Structure formats: C-alpha cells, structure tokens
Amino acid sequence: MAHDVVLIPGDGIGPEITQAMRRVVEATGVQINWNVQEAGAGVMDEFGTPLPQHVLDAVAETKVAIKGPITTPVGTGFRSVNVALRKHFDLYACVRPCLSQPGDGSRFCDVDLVIVRENTEDLYAGIEFDEGAAEVEELSQLVERSGQKTFAADSAISIKPISIAKSRRIVEYAFEYARRCGRKKGLTAVHKANIMKATDGLFLRVAREVAANYPDIEFNDKIVDATCMGLVQNPNDFDVLVLPNLYGDIVSDLCAGLVGGLGMAPGSNIGADCAIFEATHGSAPDIAGQDIANPTAEILSAAMMLDHLGENDAANRIRAAVSATLDEGKQVTGDVRRAQTGSVEGAVGTQAFADAVIAHLA
C-alpha cells in the first residue's frame, strides 16, 4: 500500500537532511507518494508569506507531513511557521521520545523518556499586550477590583490560559500513548501548582481525574523545577512525562540534552485529524549546503511517521539501522565523531551517513 505524505524540505540544512531521510525511508521498501511543498524564507518573495495556503491545503488533503526546519522571516506576522502549522491543524500533542544512542556523547547511556507536551495554550497561546497598551491599564484595574495585588504600570502582559478540555485531552493522549507503547514506569504530570494554583492547579486536578480511569498505569505528579533536577540526576526515575506548553518546551530540550542534543531528538505534532513530523532542532543556516549536518533526528522522525502510518516493521528497522551506524562509529557526522573521539577527523557528510544507515537496514 502506498502512502501519501507531504514533504516540506524547509530551509537552512532542511533540504539536506530531508533528502537523507527520504532516501532512508525509500530504502525500507515502503511506498511513499511524496508531495513536495516549499515553505519558509525562500517563498516570501513569491507568495508574501512563509506559509502559503497551497501548502496548508496539501497537508489537509494527505493528513500526514514531515518537514525540515524552517526559519521564520522577521516581520511576517508569524511567531513561527511551526506554531502556525500547529494552530491551523490543532496539533495539540507534541511528542518527543528521548532515547540514548551509542556514542551520543551524553553523561548517560540508558535514557528512555517520552515528553508529551500540550501544544495549543498556556503562555504560548500568544495573548500578549505591550507596555503602555490601553489593555494593560484595563487589566490593572480589573486585577485591583478583584482584590488581588496589582502590577507595575510599565508592565507588558502575557496571559496564561489553561483549560479543562485541553488539559484532559493531552493527559488522555499521554495515558493512551503509555498504554499503547507498553511504557512500564508510568506517567508523571509536571506542573507548578504550588504557585500557579489556578492554572497549573487546574491542569493537575484534571490529570488526577484522568489518571483514575487508567488504574493499570502508575501515575504521579511532580513540580517542574524538581523534575528538572531529577532528570539531570537520574533520568531513569522517569518514563512518560505530560506537561503544559511552556514547561514541555523547556523540559523536552533538557531531555534532548540527556541523549546527545537536538541533533538526536525526533519529534511529532499530533492532532485528531493530522500529524506533522519533524526534527526538533533549528535550520542552522551557518552550515547549510556543506553536507555536514547530522540527519539523525530527521531520520528518526520519519520512523515515528512510519509508526503512525502502520508501517511498524520499517520504523523499527530504521531505528535499528541508525543505532548500528552510530555504534559502529565509522561513518558518522562531525558532531557525533567529536562526541565519540574528541575530534572531527574521519567524519563523513550528511548523505554518506544516510548511505551507512541504508547499508544497515535489515
């Protein structure tokens, strides 16, 4: 069976790492009908936006996309193309597995975590008012009338909405993920409810209510700062973590640092009707076009995509081939080579790394 997938190469190193990813996926024998769509800085002159409507239409039709990193041009009205895609398709669950790889250069060798981050609200909802805006004065008066301590007149304001419905759906998604993937150590809801009693308190209350429906999965909760300390001391104490948007962004990058950095960390953004897969790192324009970027995160994101498409055997073969290539250590990119030996001597390029992965596909 062939699968229709939108491929958004992106900019910077995006075209290089997506080319490597595409070659690896095709080498598995899975039939993909790639619908290549351009987005980002390179289309601004032609369309006046980094995210043209026809790209959105293509993703809406296939309901599955994989993308390279995209640099959002300054002054477009977009906070970022990634955020625009998540909002347009209501991709409410950001899922980032963090799994140790051979020679990843980290302090730990057996990390196996999954971060499930709510993707649509919290401080990242984008409800902000600049210092001096009339709304700031109105909000100040509202706060004062409520009997709470008001804020300085020269403040800028961000509003943090946390809803019952969106908290419930992300926690339910995390529990279903843990059950489906056989995660053994359970699920941790991460929060700051000791201080943010209304917003984070709501998130925690809903998480506890949902947990009662999953007695087969161990549940606990932990304050976000204590979680960060625990992760860097002993990441094996954790398994699946579910977090509101801002904490999820920070903690997912922290966990990526436990497994060699963002170059090793795949990601997906999942909605009820659509899924977009992507490496979690940036576009690295300083090394674009040099064939030195590490495509591991993009290739592993493709493995997540194949799982989503029901091609689990091919997905597992890709993960095994990546691990074998890194473990062998003979055909790895410069960042990995440096982590393994302290020098980039003997490193290979982006496409040569993909060749090695392809050679290891069983």
The catalytic residue positions are 124, 192, 225, 249
- Give DSSP secondary structure letters for 139-205: HHHHHHHTTS----TT--EE-----HHHHHHHHHHHHHHHHHTT-SS-EEEEE-TTT-TTHHHHHHH
Distances (CA, A) of 8 to 82, 140, 356: 12, 44, 24
Question: Tokens 């917003």 map to which residue?
Answer: 199
Phi, psi (rounded to 5 degrees) for 221: -130, 155
| DSSP β-bridge partners for residue 32 | 3
What are the helix and strand counts (H, E) for the chain? 13, 12
Contact by Cβ (8 Å): 280, 338: no
Phi, psi (rounded to 5 degrees) for 2: -90, 145
